[in-house]
Amino acid sequence: MTHFCKVFQLFVFHRLKHNLVSKNILANEQFGFRDDVSTESAIFKIELIFSAWNNKEYITGLFFYLTKAFDSVSHKLLILKLEFYGVKGSILNWLKSYLHNRKQRVVLQFVISPHLLSDCEVVRHGIPQGSVLGPLLFNMYINDFPCIINKISHTILLQMILIFLFLPMILMN
C-alpha cells in the first residue's frame, strides 16, 4: 500500500469517526474499538445479571462468537450501511474502490528453498486487517445488531456478542 493511500485512509478515518461521534450514530452497547470506552466497560453490564438474580428471574446467556469477524464482512452490505449512516459522494466512492476487487495471495517461506507464491485471488468479502479503517468499518457493520436484537438486554464485545435474556420465574413454571 502506498504512503499516499495510508495518509488518505487516515483522512477518511477521521472524517468517518467525526461523523459517527457528532451524530451519535454508534450504539451505546458498542464497546470495542472506541475512544473512552473499552470492552472492560461492558463488564459493568453484569449488574443486569445480579438484578435479575435478586428478582428471582431465570437468566439465560446466549454467546455468539464471530469467527474471522473481519473476514466475513459483506462488501455490499457494508456499503449499504455506510450509505444509511450518511456516507456519500467521493468518500463513499473511494470506500467502494478500497473494498472491491482487492487481491491477495499467500507467500510460503521455507528455510531451505525459495519463497513460493500462490496466484492472486480477488477478495470478495472482508475488511483489510491491520488497516486504520478496519476496526471503524467493522463497528459500522455490526452497529445495528442491538436494533436487530430489539427488546433483549444486550452487550456487544469486540468479536463476541453476549446476549442476556431475563425471563420471570412465572413464565418458566
pLDDT at residue number 83: 95
pLDDT at residue number 119: 86
pLDDT above 70 (res 5): yes
pLDDT band at 64 (very low <50, low <70, confident <90, very high): low
Q: Could you tell me which of 22, 8, 15, 28 has the C-alpha nearest to residue 139?
A: 28
Q: Which residue has the cell 438486554?
A: 153
Using a 10 angstrom Cβ sphere, with 0-12 exposed, 13-18 middle and 19 or more buried, the burial of residue 159 is middle
pLDDT above 80 (res 33): no
Residue 123 β-bridge partners: 102
pLDDT at residue number 111: 63
Q: How far apart are CA 157 and CA 34, in angstroms?
A: 11
Q: How far apart are CA 37 and CA 151, in angstroms?
A: 23
Q: How far apart are CA 73 and CA 97, in angstroms?
A: 16
**117-135 residue pLDDT tens:** 888 888 888 888 788 898 8
User: Are the CB atoms for 31 and 38 separated by under 8 Å?
Assistant: yes
Q: Say whether pTM exceeds 0.85.
A: no
Q: CA-CA distances (angstroms) from residue 35 to 18, 41, 136? A: 12, 12, 11
